[in-house]
Amino acid sequence: MKEQRSGRRSFALLGAVVFAAALIIYFRALSLGLVWDDPFLIGQTREIFSQKGIFGFFTTPFLALEGKISPNYFRPLVFISIWLDGLIGSGSPLVFHLTNVLLHGVASVLCFNLFSLFLDRSIAFWAALLFAIHPVHTESVYFVSGRTDILAAVFILATAVMWGSELKGEVSKTTARLWGGVFFLCALLTKEAAFFVPVALLGWDFLQTGRGEEHGERRKAWFSILGGLCLAVLLYRFSFDGGILSPLKTLPPAVPPITPPDRLWGFLEYLRLMTLPFPLKAYYTPSVVGPSPSVLVGALLTLGLFLSFGGSSDKRIGLSGFLWFFAFLFPVLGIIPARVPVAGERFLYIPSVSFCLMAGYALQALAKRFEDGGRVRWLPAILLLPLCLVTVLRADVWKDDKALFEHITAAAPDYFGGHYNLAIMYFGEKRYEEASEEYIFAATLKPEDSRPWAGAGRSFLYQGKPGLAAGYFEKALELSPESASLRFEYAGAFNAMGDSAGEREQLELVVRGDPSNFSAWNNLGILSRRAGEVAKAEEYFRKALELRSGAPAALGNLIDLLTETGRQGEIPGLLSLLEKSDPSGAALLRKKFETKR
């Protein structure tokens, strides 16, 4: 009895150390901001709740970026976790990042529980520590939007622990299957990768135990539970009118395009990242995952680790591990139509579980081979130190958008999104020359997209180079001729060049395409007044005031025009209206009005 209590205390202590290690190694996450998709995800969550309440999370596709890409993902539990963080922290980035770190700690402890079912406890501890600190997880933990993988891993691992506990006789069938079903349902409501759990777990079960009536009965029971829940969730998703699982929209091709050979090299890159996680990249394009010594060596090392435990004497644990690894990577290997990069570190969060288990088996085999196995068991401490350092330093990449996109443009120079988003960052910091360079580079990567051309024009305009700006705006308008906002900026370039005729021509096109553009009407009034077209100017100013009745700019212009033309009856009322929004401007115009009168 004492030994049992001591064993439980030891198990709990080791689990607590794993949890603490996961938290400590990611302590810098708490000082990070929100980057890339984070603000959109948080904003979308807030908007869904305000419009539909909490049940809206169960009927809304996940992260349909800007309405242009609708992958029809269904992840209500991710929505709920983000919503709760926003509620608790009032939008503070710290709370979102703290939740990611805590969930990673929970996933690491669940790895320890799962590994302990197949390995010596001390070996399972080191394998779980490897999972907790492995640098390939930094994207999932440091990136708030990477929570989908962490939360899904928590529920998938909890399901696997229940299955393994029944397999090893640790818990009753009823308990394992009941809680396994609950956790699996949560996984299905978190990420689509959960649909591959039956393949990974039941394949593992078969490879571990082989045939036999008892094993067959267990597999049938688990298949019924897991398969039934998969079917139920699919039917639920199909039930929506227009459907969360309605046919995928035609996605625009990736830039640069991804070919089947690229996907193969992407898979080898995934294998490489497990044993040689240097360098890491926040974005991968085909140009950075091609043949290289590091990819080939790393992939061979990882495959060797799996295959070395693939024989019957090892109960084919290596094949089970590789099945897990491949099953959870399958959705992102390009076999299923999806808009995913050629490789992505966050996609390794769940597959890496089996790699860490294989590393534990390798350490256990090494310890048994040497008489002094105790010392061998401490070998991982030396090997894990450089991984810890990489994981901690990796926070620098994710501290803010500028750092992230500077890293991406250096790591994947042919990725359009990296250069385009970095240009936006530079523009926001008033680094207009650097912004124009990045916009132009992005335009060369994706010349059919009007946004970088327009961005370059905007940047040149702020540099005091309206002639160059006009050329880039003109190119952007060739691609998006219906864009009134873009044409308004084009008019601004003519204004900066002193070309009133060109400006007026563009502004007239703006109000024709967008009659609600207040600034265009007001500017047309100014141009008409300069040209001596008083009636036209008054018409334009009044049109602007119809859109914004108390707007100081249009009010001031109209009052000044009426004062100059001697029509004073309406002016006192307009001055009173102007005083509400611009007292100082109203005072100046009142003085001018009194003098004129």
List helix spans (H) across 446-499.
450-462, 466-479, 484-497
Q: Please give the average per-residue pLDDT across 169-198, as a whole number.
A: 96
Return the pLDDT at 591: 64
How far apart are alpha carbons 134 and 384 in whole angstroms? 8
Respond yes or no on whether the N-terminal peptide bond of residue 256 is cis (omega within 30° of 0). yes
- Residue 255 clears pLDDT 90, i.e. is over it: no
Instruction: Look at residues 492, 511, 530 and tell me which one is the last residue of a structural domain.
Output: 511
Question: Is 94 inside a domain boundary?
Answer: yes
**pTM, two decimal places:** 0.90
Question: Which position has the higher pLDDT, 100 or 240?
Answer: 100
Domain stop point among 364, 396, 428: 396
pLDDT of residue 248: 45
Per-residue model confidence as pLDDT tens digits over 48-104? 999 999 999 998 887 654 444 445 688 999 999 999 999 999 989 999 999 999 999
* pLDDT tens track for 388-413: 999 999 999 999 999 999 999 999 99
From 5, 12, 22, 15, select the one nearest 125 (Cα to Cα). Answer: 15
Token digits for 388? Answer: 């810890």
Other C-beta atoms lying within 10 Å of the C-beta of residue 572? 12
Residue 443 has pLDDT above 90, yes or no: yes
Mean pLDDT, residues 456-480 taken together? 97
Q: Buried b vs exposed e over 148-172: b needs ≥16 C-beta within 10 Å?
A: bbbbbbbbbbbbbbbbbbbbeeebe
| Residue 1 counted as domain residue | no
Would 5 be classed as within a structural domain?
A: no
- On whether the CB atoms of residues 180 and 173 are closer than 8 A, the answer is no
Q: Which residue, 488, 511, 534, sits at the end of a domain? A: 511
Question: CA 521 to CA 534: how far, in whole Å?
Answer: 14
The CA distance from 466 to 458, in Å, is 9
Domain count, the chain: 3
Split at pLDDT 50, 70, 90, the class of 230 is very high
Distances (CA, A) of 22 to 38, 96, 115, 257: 22, 16, 16, 37
The overall average pLDDT reported for the chain is 89
- The span from the CA of 234 to the CA of 241, in Å, is 14
- 265 within a domain of the structure (yes/no): yes
| Secondary structure (DSSP) of 210-228 | -S-HHHHHHHHHHHHHHHH
The CATH number for 557's domain is 1.25.40.10
CA distances from 236 to 4, 199, 428 (A): 45, 22, 44
Percent of the chain with pLDDT over 70: 87
571 in any annotated domain: yes
Q: Are residues 554 and 496 in the same domain?
A: no
Tokens of 526: 């100014």
Q: List, in order, residues 6 or more apart from 119 with CB less than 8 Å away.
A: 127, 357, 360, 361, 364
CB 271 within 8 A of CB 345: no
Query: What is the model's pLDDT at position 70?
Result: 47
**Domain span at 68:** 17-241+254-396
Is 405 within a domain? no
More confident residue, 260 or 226: 226
Same domain, 465 and 431: yes
Q: What is the pLDDT of residues 104-121, one digit of tens each?
A: 999 999 999 999 999 999
- Domain annotation covers residue 75: yes
Is 3 contained in some domain? no
Model confidence over 328-379: pLDDT tens digits?
Answer: 999 898 776 566 788 999 999 999 999 999 999 999 888 888 766 556 667 7
Whether 567 and 435 map to the same domain: the answer is no
pLDDT > 90: percent of the chain: 69
Tally Cβ neighbours within 10 Å of residue 396.
13
